[in-house]
Every structure is written in structure tokens, then in C-alpha cells.
Structure 1
Amino acid sequence: MPSLNDIVAMAQAMEKSPVVVVEDRCLCVRNRNASCRRCMGVCQVGAIAIAANEITLDASACMACGACTSVCPTEALVSVAPLDADLSRAAAQAAVANGGAAVFSCARMAAKHQADPARFAEVPCLARIDESIIVGLVAHGADQVLLVDGDCASCKYRSVQPCIEATVAYANELLAVHGSSVRAVRTSAFPDSVLVEDAGDLYGSTRRGFLSEAAGAARETAVAAARTTIEQELGYSAEKLQIGERLRVSASGEMPRLHMPRHEVTINALDDIGLPCEENVETRLFGTVDIDTDRCNACSMCAVFCPTGALARDPVEKMSEPLRYLEFSASDCVQCGMCVDVCWKGAVSLSATVPTAELFDFEPRAFAMNTPPPRRSAFG
């Protein structure tokens, strides 16, 4: 399988969009009964449409705010302006230059040319930033995380303000629960340490044009390399297979599982920051599942359609009948709600309050199934 970054790079070349749809990661593509519409809920211009196992994004309407990429639980929408890795790298370099302060700025504030561009990371809108980026920076030594934006009331991105506030709140909750004293702070002004008196030399038209050309050439080279990797080394074909072929249930009774890069970054970062000092954490990145075994009929559809394998059949008795156990791993749960959506018995519940002990427990929690009665033959 090509990596997510490979797919993004190739899609960028073909679609010229600030946000790329990785279709098979979308819950609504994987199962038409999925209720998730978080991306549509935050898109202020209606650029995203979901219907009949398809998700589409109108690149000409997209405003590049990045809010959809931050709320999507399965990372089916990926910002390529900038990529996560590029954004984190720029913020980390700025933190080193600032003596520990990682500074982000929205494009509107950056355009005022008040601050040294080497001392902050620029995004079109702060809604582009998610918890994994903030927590990752703290784990790597940032002692401040500042998100700088201006008067959002008159900004074209103003309707996504709640997304920014949610990201800051959830990131700070994760940091607090793990004993960190660092907090992400949203502010309307650059800190004095990054301000410049005369920005002419830093923002001159000649320098800006040179950087633009260099960035464009680098991007073209990266896209060409990604195309070669995908087509020659990974066996990727541009020809699109039918959905039934792409998302076929395997012999072990599972749909293709998704690797979640942001989850991996967050879990590793939290582990580096320190042990949790609270019993529970309120988060949108992870979830906890409970199953009413008295109502459950052991059909295992929740495990079949779980996109990450957070809910899974007992690996030792994967195809045994009748089903005896289901296992749940909180660190793999993305709180997407698919398990709830596909359970026609209403036996599955999902919560955003996650026991911290479960996040770092190598042993999954097991649910013992009540063995269903044998099916009666039509002939008695």
C-alpha cells in the first residue's frame, strides 16, 4: 500500500487542491450507514459533498482553511498546503530560533509583516492546526505554543473559530492530564521576541519571488519522486478499482484497516511528556467503547467495519463460530462512531471520556459474548 504522504503528493499534482480527499479512508465511503458528516459541518462554503458511498471536494470552492482536515476522525481529508510534516518542521525550527516558543500565525497576520518569518509557522487559518501538532511540539521541547490570529470577526474564515477553540481546548486537556505545564495559547498579537522593526529586507519582492520559485521547483521534484515510488515500487495504478474490490472484507472477516499517523504522533508524544496524572481524559482523538452483552447478538459487524481495528475479534479464534470474545483497544479508537452506526441491536455505546490507563495498556479490554442460540432449521 502507498503511504499517506505518497497519495497526498500524487493527488496534489493531479487535482491542484489545497485539501486532498483520500476516499477509502472516509467512513461514508466504507459504509453508507455511517452518520459522520463532521467535514461538511465545518465547511463554510459547502465544498464537500457525501452521497452513495462517495465523498467529493470542489477544489474551486475550497477556501483552504483546513478545518475539515482537523475534524475528520480517519484523516480522509489531508491538507497539502502545508503538509503536517512541513508544518511541524517549520514550527520546531521557529521554536529553536525563539528559545523554546513555537509560534503559529494565520496568513492574515503574517501579511502585516510585523514578525520575522523564520520565527513562526504560517497557515492559511489556525483551524488547520490539530492536537497532534501541538502535543508533538511540546514533547520535543517547546515551552510555549502560541497561535496568533487577528480580528476574526472580519475574516473570511470567521465561521471556523469554534474549530480553533476546540483544538486548543482538547490539546491543553491532553497536556494537563499528562502533567505538562505548557499550554497552547491563542493570541491576537505576535510576542515581542519575533517582531522586527524593519521588515523590508525580510519581505522584499526579490526574496519573495526567489522563495516562491524555489518552493515550486521543490514541490514539482517531490511530486515526481512520489509518482515514481507509487507506480514503480509500490505497484500503484492510477486506474480506479470498484469500491467492492477496494474495500472487500478479507478472509479473516475484516475490512482493510487504516493506519492513523496523527494518532501515532500523539500517543508517542504523550508517552514522552510523562505518565498521566488523571484517571480520565476528555478528548476527540480517542474514544472508549462499551458493549451491552445482554443485547448483543455476537454478529461482530462492529469489528468488521471498525476502520482501525480498535474493535476486533479475538485473534486466536478470529473465525470461530459462535463468536466468544470481542477486544477493544482505546489507543486505536478514533471516536468515529462506526461501531454504533452498524449495530442494529443498539448494544454499542461510545464515549469521549477515556480512561488514561487504557490508552497505554498493551492488553485490550475483552468483552465476553453471550453465545446466541443455534438457528433453527427451516425443516424443523
Structure 2
Amino acid sequence: MFFRYKEGLCAHTRNAQAGCNKCIAVCSAQAIRSEGDFIAVNPHLCAGCGACSTVCPSGALSYDYPSPAQLGERIKAAIGAHYVACATPPLLVFHAHAGNSWPPHAIGMAVQSVASVGMDLWFAALAYGAANVTLLCPADEGPQNRQMLREQVGIAQAILAGLGYGEAGVRLLEHGFVSSPAQAAVPVRASFNVAADKRNTLDMALAHLYQHAPCPQQVTGLPAGSLYGGLALDKAACTLCMSCVGACPAAALQDGANAPQLRFIEANCVQCGLCVNSCPEDALALVPRMSFGSAVKSAVVINETTPFCCIRCNKPFGTLKLVETMLAKLGQHSAFSAHPERLQMCGDCRVIEMLQSKQ
């Protein structure tokens, strides 16, 4: 098979709420379908283009012909061999057809499909010392894959521009001949190996590029549909019901354990939108951006409040905002209209009070 699929990383659907649909949308062979909370790939329909693995934000789908680790090893070895022979930073060209001619200091990297080579490998190549990564799009490439590559290159260029490298570090060549752009390579070449996990490779490559960047920005805005970003929270609307925490497939959103808190780890967020679609109060919105620094890997409290205590036993069981919302929405319901105070009790006390009132 051309692919590997890890259900545990998939951000497709949770609790009947729609999340990431990118692989299904980009598959020109219609080999991918929704199946419950996850997706299913028909290997007999799969054409092996690998576009699904390139758009997958979590790495749940990965290309396996060759695997990212195998292709990464080839890239690292080729760039290393170039520097042994020549001090001029190389241009790395991914192509799918033989018979191409390259300019001086260019390294041709033949692949099954250019659409299968994603952002993790582009940034890894730049971290290894390539001055530029060029994707040579074949004339017979389908329109869906072309558009996907344009969007992915646009995201990569925005990240590189935010680091001060300039947008020329990654480019998509749909027409014309390969040329060497005036682009400087990273001053210190990275030594890490491409991992099987896409996000791990991206983390290592981007951390290296950020460390040696000419003029890095802490935060760079990215186009919609990016695989990195933060969240905008309307604290006035949020009741801390934790629906978003239960829906988040990447553990980017977490509760406060013993305190009514909502915590967010931006580095984990894959911008799938499950939290936004699961929020009953419409209190969340995606903010596509690239953030650097240690804070993005730490759990940041984005909302908190004092706990609401049961009016019968004084045990904390929710938040004041949540109880007020329940009273407003359920107070007139036939189950509670006669005794709305039961909504201010914990589950145990509510049952005890109901049984005692029947005696």
C-alpha cells in the first residue's frame, strides 16, 4: 500500500461533530470516505499520489512509498554529499519524471509523486542546508493536487517570511525551467533525522530554522487552513462545560484537573475545528498562526472561574456560569420547574432530595 493510517491521530470527527476533512476533499480517486469518527481508505482505488498525507495536519495519514523517514534519509545524505564536494548551498528539486536538466548546484530528488512530499520534508531539507526547495509540478498533475500544492507552499512561504528567510525558500514550479534563486541557506546545518511522525519532524525542523533565523517573529499570521494556530475564546460566553476538551483529538485543550480551568497547548493544535464545532456556546474560533518560543509547548490557562458548590452538601461540582446557564435553559422544564433548586445540587444530592421528597 502507498499509505499508513493511524486512527489515534485522526481529527476527522468526534461525537458526531465534523472536524478535519482535508484528505477526503483532496483525493482525486475518491478512495477515502468517512467511517464513523475516522476515515477509511480503499487501497484498490488509491492511485498513490500521496496528496492526502501532505494535507493531513496531524500525521494520521502518512505516505509509505517511500516513508518520510526513508526519503528524509535520502535528502540528508544528498545534501551532506553536496557540501563535501562544494561549499555552495544546493537547490533541492523534487520531481516525478526522468529526463530533466538541472542548473549548477541543484540536486534532483526523484519521487513517485511530487504531491506526496509535504511541509515536514521541505523544512527538514532547509534545516539540512538546502538554500531552496523546488517542487517541479508535472504537466499531467491533476487540478486538485495543483491547488493543494499551491496552498501548502503558500503556508510554508508565510512561515519562512515570518522567520526572515524570505518566501523563495520553498516554491512550486508549474511552468518554465528550474533556476537557482538568490537565497541564503541556514548558517548551521541540522543533524536530526526525519521522524515517522510528521509533527515531530516539523517541530525539529522549525525549531532549528527559528534558532538560526535572520530576524524571527514570535508570531506570524498564516492563511486559513493551516496546520498550526491558536484559539480565540469568548470568555463571557464560555461556561467551562469542557465539551471542547472531550472533542480535541490532539490533547491541545485540557481541563484543570481539580480546578475549573480550560488550558491550551498551542503546539499540539492541528486546527481541525472540532472544538469550535463542539462548543454549545459558540465561544471558540480558530486563529491560524505560527508561534515560537517555549510558551507554545506549555499549558496556558485561557479561562477559569471559581467553582460552584452544591447548596446541600457544599461540594464543588461545576461553575457558576454553567449552573446559571442550566437554570436559564432547564428551569422551566417539567422535570425541574417545581424544584429548580435541584439544578444547584450535585448529582448525589439531587437524587437524595428527589427520593426524600417522595416519602
Tell me the TM-score normalised to structure 1 length. Answer: 0.67
Q: Quote the sequence identity (%).
A: 23
Q: 1:259 to 1:101 in 2, by over 3 A?
A: closer
Q: What does residue range 98-117 of structure 1 map to in structure 2 within 5 Å?
A: 98=82, 99-107=88-96, 109=97, 111-112=98-99, 114=101
Q: What does residue range 220-299 of structure 1 map to in structure 2 within 5 Å?
A: 260-274=199-213, 276-277=216-217, 279-282=219-222, 284-299=226-241
120-129 or 368-377, which moves further after superposition? 368-377
Rg larger in structure: 2
- 2:317 pairs with 1:329: no
Q: 1:63 to 1:351 in 2, by over 3 A?
A: same
Structure 2 gaps of 5+ residues are 83-87, 181-196, 307-318, 324-342
Q: 1:368 to 1:67 in 2, by over 3 A?
A: same
The CA deviation string for residues 88-128 of structure 1, in whole angstroms up to 9 with x for no partner, is 22223333455422423332x3x336469x93222222221
Aligned to 2:137: 149
- 2:259 pairs with 1:309: no
Distance 1:324 1:287 in 2: 24
Aligned to 2:340: none
Aligned to 2:60: 76
Q: 1:92 to 1:262 in 2, by over 3 A?
A: closer
Say which SS state the counterpart of residue 324 (structure 1) adopts: strand
Say which SS state the counterpart of residue 34 (structure 2) adopts: strand
Which has the larger strand fraction? 2
Say which SS state the counterpart of residue 127 (structure 1) adopts: helix
2:237 and 2:282 in contact (8 A); partners too? yes
Q: 1:359 to 1:18 in 2, by over 3 A?
A: farther
Distance 2:219 2:13 in 1: 36
Aligned to 2:191: none
Distance 1:354 1:365 in 2: 19
AA aligned opposite 1:106: H
2:27 and 2:51 in contact (8 A); partners too? yes
Distance 2:160 2:264 in 1: 24
Q: 1:168 to 1:308 in 2, by over 3 A?
A: same
Q: 1:129 to 1:294 in 2, by over 3 A?
A: same
Distance 1:43 1:76 in 2: 15
Alignment: residue pair count: 289
1:276 and 1:356 in contact (8 A); partners too? no
Say which SS state the counterpart of residue 367 (structure 1) adopts: strand
Of 53, 75, 92, 1:91 maps to 75
Distance 1:113 1:282 in 2: 33
Structure 1 gaps of 5+ residues are 1-16, 193-257
- 2:159 pairs with 1:174: yes
Tell me the TM-score normalised to structure 2 length. Answer: 0.70
AA aligned opposite 1:59: P
AA aligned opposite 1:26: C
RMSD, aligned CA: 3.1
Tell me by how many angstroms 1:56 deviates: 1.1
1:65 and 1:157 in contact (8 A); partners too? no
